Amino acid sequence: MSWPHKDLLDVSQLSRDDVAVVMKTAASFREINSRPVKKVPTLKGRSVILFFAEPSTRTKTSFDMAGKRLSADTFALTKSGSSLVKGESLKDTVLTLLAMNPDAIVIRHGESGAAAFVAERVSCAVINAGDGRHAHPTQALLDAFTLLEKWGTLTDKTVCILGDIAHSRVARSNVILLSMLGATVRLCGPRTLLPPSVDGWGVEVHSDLKKAVAGAHAVMCLRLQLERQQAGLLPDLREYAGRFCLSSAALTGADPDVRVLHPGPINRGIEISSELADAGQSLILDQVASGVAVRMALLHLFITRKDRGDKE
Amino acid sequence: MALPDLAVTNLIFPETPHAVDLLCRKGRILAVLPHAPGAVYEAARTLDGRGLTLLPGLTDAHAHLREPGQEWKEDIASGLAAAAAGGFSNVMCMANTSPVNDTASITEHMTKRAAETWPHGPRLFPIGALTKGLLGQELAPMAELRQAGCVAFSNDGRPVADAELFRHAMEYASDLGLRVIDHCEEPSMAPGAGMNEGRVSSRLGLPGQPDVAEAIQVARDILLADYLRIPIHLAHISCRRSVEIIERAKARGVPVTAETCPHYLHFTEAEVEGYNTLAKVSPPLRTRDDVLALIQALRQGVIDILATDHAPHAAHEKETPFGEAPCGITGLETALSLSFVLTDKGMLDAADIVRLFSTAPARLFNLPHNTFAPGDPADFVLFDPREAWTVTPESLFSKGKNTPCLGRTLTGRVVALFIAGQPVFTRGEYAPAAMAAASRRTHGRNS
């Protein structure tokens, strides 16, 4: 399997064949994760820097675990513990990290385009673990992996993404990837939380939850950042939940086997009801498990491509 | 006719179909005559214009020269060097220095630095702050600033949200006979985004500023100008929506004038693709439709002048993720080349450029300027419309290299700028050393 990319900045750079390679590789690692001894020597002696300039628990832990299960050495650098709080520029931080000669840098940053900024300046692989509102490709890949494990295909499936689309890198990457894999994507949220020029995204847009989920095979809830109320985008959380909180009752018009996803961390009772989050149709914990397998696959593909002499 | 002391022969002149000889005496225009091959102007220093285009010295009504306070981005010496290389004999500099130009001592410091570093020009004309510290809370001492040399007032970069205060600022400035220049950007709508709200911003995940943020304040200012019957000048108009409001206002006789900048005529929001911080500017680059509206507005006189909004920044300040970079594009050295690109496309002609970048801004702000009438100051540009040059950091005199033109090849370049008959900037064969050598060859004299 050849891997033509130096970096993973967004899913838009991937072909369908690339995505198939990731899925197939992730499936093989998924099997390792169910063994009693969950470790293989694939990346022994390789080092991965986890550079998280924005708070993150699950994505960082997921990458950390993925690296360790492949026997790579992982080094976590967070903003509060880095020189960024001392006023060091991103360029200088990155050049310093590069001087340590890592095999890959996994970056989470609050500015859109930050992963591309880093990738242009380093020779090692850069994996975008979320840049501003722009992209979160590993989340989209793990969401697709989760759904593919259940369904086998996304063709003729309808997936509704619900909530704060405007500020969501998860939504942006998922719209691109799910559409590429053949799903029909719908977006649902109040107009204030839909991106401007969303008409150019090639998706259906709804502000009525019932219509948005009608016949849907999956609904992906997004986390609502509580500061949206202060920014004047919402009256209050109670009213938001009244219109958009996903519950079993709200799903009555959806496909009988509808699945529910959430990238986490969830706000129970705001974007998803507590009972639904714990219900059998929820894939939230499957997403977490898929996340480790997909990130193992990505670290493996990006770090070993030079060994195999893959061409860009 | 008195004898000229300076003659430049065989020049292309936008106002006449034939080539001309320019004759000057004691720093003033003596005459512009049809070119007479072989004519000898006794006692005059004579330059062969060899088919260069003759333009009047330009006036930039909108530049940021950063001194005092941010000399790592630009200072008055380097800013005026850039102005000279771009063909500008007059430069109006904005008040957002550090400290702000809201007291006479800052204005005097600016003009003193200009006189020390460029004694023969380009001439510097400071713009005073409209409010103290540009904070939008109290009026700046405009009479004192005018006395010190300010030629207009502006809160550029920090638009005044308070309509009542802005009204009073217009009233107070009108007592002094000076114009208020407003940076129109409703401050509550994505301030500093530096990116148009639209398809590109949506895809890149960047907060964008809609064009209505500009148009809302354009409309407010025009309503105030109409109600008060006080003139207002609107800086760097970037979009069709604003153009349409200005057009309607002018048709009704509202005393409004407006400017736009060469970068809004050449680039669109697409320039930001790849998170290009060199294309981050306020107001932001808009769409193709806006570009066409602006060009048409310039031809029809709806927009009165061109200005550069030259906004230099240090290289490291722009080498950041897009959201962290400051807004601004440098423009003094590319303005004329970019403007002449539009003549090649048939969108403007050379006479339009003379009007938009020289006559109209100088008249608007009562600055000395050259219309090539006898007695006018001999401020003129020799421009080679065919010279192709690639914009590189080394090719620019400004400390700020932050222009989306970087790496592009432009056609047309300023070869020399004369102010009051003195060559303040020359390039290539017109540089002093080359001219001295040419003079030796021609006349066999020792120097």
- Subunit contact B208:A133, Cβ cutoff 8 A: no
Contact list in B for residue A111 (CB cut-off 8 A) is 321-324
AA letter at A136: H
B352-359: long-range contacts, CB 8 A cutoff, minimum separation 24: B352/B298, B352/B299, B353/B14, B353/B55, B353/B306, B354/B14, B354/B55, B354/B56, B356/B298, B356/B304, B356/B305, B356/B306, B357/B58, B357/B59, B357/B60, B357/B305, B357/B306, B358/B55, B358/B56, B358/B57, B358/B58, B358/B59, B359/B56
Which distant-in-sequence residues (6+ apart) come within 8 Å of A39 by Cβ? A32, A68, A69, A70, A71
Task: Decide if pLDDT at B446 tops 80.
Answer: no
How many distinct structural domains can be found in chain B?
Answer: 1
Distance of CA B399 to the CA centre of its chain: 17
To the nearest whole Å, the CA of B184 is away from the closest chain A CA by: 22
- Subunit contact B316:A196, Cβ cutoff 8 A: no
AA letter at B266: H
Domain of residue B190, residue span: 56-372+398-406
CA A229, A269, A255, A210 torsion-angle sign: negative
Q: Give the chain B residue whose CA is nearest to the CA of A117.
A: B321
Residues in chain A: 312
Domains and CATH numbers, chain A: 11-135+289-308 (3.40.50.1370), 137-287 (3.40.50.1370)
Chain A touched by B202 (CB under 8 Å): yes
Q: CB–CB of A161/A134 below 8 Å? A: no
Residue showing tokens 């673990």 = A129
Task: Please write the tens of the pLDDT for every residue from B343-370.
Answer: 988 899 999 999 999 999 999 999 999 9
For the ranges A221-230, B11-20, B63-72, the lowest mean pLDDT is seen at A221-230
Q: Report if residue B424 sits inside a domain.
A: no
pTM of the predicted structure, to 2 decimals:
0.93
Q: Report if residue B260 sits inside a domain.
A: yes
Q: Name the 3-class secondary structure at B352.
A: helix
For residue A241, the 8-state DSSP code is: H
- Subunit contact B275:A113, Cβ cutoff 8 A: yes
Residue showing tokens 């010279």 = B387
For residue A102, the 8-state DSSP code is: -
- Subunit contact A113:B321, Cβ cutoff 8 A: yes
Q: Which of A112, A135, A200 lies at the smallest CB-CB distance from B322?
A: A112
Chain A touched by B372 (CB under 8 Å): no
Contact list in A for residue B210 (CB cut-off 8 A) is 196
To the nearest whole Å, the CA of A91 is away from the closest chain B CA by: 7
Q: Report if residue B346 sits inside a domain.
A: yes
- Subunit contact A117:B197, Cβ cutoff 8 A: no
What pLDDT does residue B442 have?
44
Q: Report if residue B325 sits inside a domain.
A: yes
Task: Please write the tens of the pLDDT for every residue from A166-183.
Answer: 999 999 999 999 999 999
User: Going edge to edge, which strands form the sheet with B28-34?
Assistant: B28-34, B20-25, B6-11, B45-48
What pLDDT does residue B262 have?
98
- Subunit contact B321:A91, Cβ cutoff 8 A: no
Q: Report if residue B262 sits inside a domain.
A: yes
% residues pLDDT > 90 (chain B): 90
Distance in angstroms (rounded) separating the CA atoms of residues B124 and B148? 13
Contact list in A for residue B273 (CB cut-off 8 A) is none
Chain A touched by B187 (CB under 8 Å): no
Which residues, in sequence order, are bridge partners of residue B414? B383
To the nearest whole Å, the CA of A90 is away from the closest chain B CA by: 7
- Subunit contact A117:B275, Cβ cutoff 8 A: yes
Of B434 and A228, which is predicted with more confidence? A228
Q: Give the chain A residue whose CA is nearest to the CA of B210.
A: A196
Which distant-in-sequence residues (6+ apart) come within 8 Å of B385 by Cβ? B12, B53, B340, B411, B412
Task: Decide if pLDDT at A88 tops 90.
Answer: no
Distance in angstroms (rounded) separating the CA atoms of residues B327 and B279? 8
For residue A225, the 8-state DSSP code is: P
To the nearest whole Å, the CA of B238 is away from the closest chain A CA by: 19
For residue B359, the 8-state DSSP code is: I
Residue B114, by phi and psi: left (phi above 0), alpha (psi -120 to 50) or beta?
Answer: alpha
Contact list in A for residue B316 (CB cut-off 8 A) is 89, 91
Nearest to B416 by CA among B15, B121, B131, B86: B86
Task: Please write the tens of the pLDDT for every residue from A27-53.
Answer: 999 998 889 998 999 999 999 999 999
Q: Give the chain A residue whose CA is nearest to the CA of B205.
A: A134
Q: Give the chain B residue whose CA is nearest to the CA of A232.
A: B188
Chain A touched by B204 (CB under 8 Å): yes
Chain B interface disruption, residue of A117, A176, A187, A198, most B CBs within 10 A: A117
Task: Please write the tens of the pLDDT for every residue from B290-318.
Answer: 999 999 999 999 999 999 999 999 999 99
- Subunit contact A91:B316, Cβ cutoff 8 A: yes
Average pLDDT of chain B? 94
Catalytic residues of B: 309
Confidence of residue A18 (pLDDT cuts 50, 70, 90): very high
User: Going edge to edge, which strands form the sheet with B380-390?
Assistant: B53-56, B380-390, B409-419, B422-426
- Subunit contact A132:B208, Cβ cutoff 8 A: no
To the nearest whole Å, the CA of B269 is away from the closest chain A CA by: 14
Contact list in B for residue A135 (CB cut-off 8 A) is 205
Q: CB–CB of B57/B27 below 8 Å? A: no
Q: Report if residue B222 sits inside a domain.
A: yes
Q: Which of B198, B274, B321 lies at the smallest CB-CB distance from A111?
A: B321
Q: Give the chain A residue whose CA is nearest to the CA of B317.
A: A89
Chain A touched by B192 (CB under 8 Å): no
- Subunit contact B198:A112, Cβ cutoff 8 A: no
- Subunit contact A90:B323, Cβ cutoff 8 A: no
Q: Are strands B45-48 and B6-11 parallel, antiparallel or unpaired?
A: parallel
To the nearest whole Å, the CA of B241 is away from the closest chain A CA by: 18
Q: Report if residue B415 sits inside a domain.
A: no
Of A129 and A196, which is predicted with more confidence? A129
Q: Which of B199, B274, B322 lies at the smallest CB-CB distance from A197?
A: B199
Average pLDDT of chain A? 93
Contact list in A for residue B274 (CB cut-off 8 A) is 116
| Cβ within 8 Å of A, B 116-145 | none
Chain A interface disruption, residue of B188, B197, B275, B313, most A CBs within 10 A: B275
Task: Decide if pLDDT at B440 tops 60.
Answer: no
Q: CB–CB of B346/B299 below 8 Å? A: no
Distance in angstroms (rounded) separating the CA atoms of residues A210 and A165? 17
> Could you tell me the CA-to-CA distances from B295 to B3, B246, B282 in Å, in that order?
42, 14, 19
- Subunit contact B316:A117, Cβ cutoff 8 A: no
Task: Please write the tens of the pLDDT for every residue from B146-170.
Answer: 999 999 999 998 999 999 999 999 9
Q: Which of A90, A135, A195 lies at the smallest CB-CB distance from B320?
A: A90
Please report, for the domain that includes residue B87, its CATH number: 3.20.20.140
Task: Please write the tens of the pLDDT for every residue from B230-253.
Answer: 999 999 999 999 999 999 999 999
AA letter at B152: A
> Could you tell me the CA-to-CA distances from A286 to A144, A150, A223, B144 in Å, in that order?
11, 10, 17, 71
Chain A touched by B279 (CB under 8 Å): no
To the nearest whole Å, the CA of A116 is away from the closest chain B CA by: 8
Distance in angstroms (rounded) separating the CA atoms of residues A201 and B204? 12
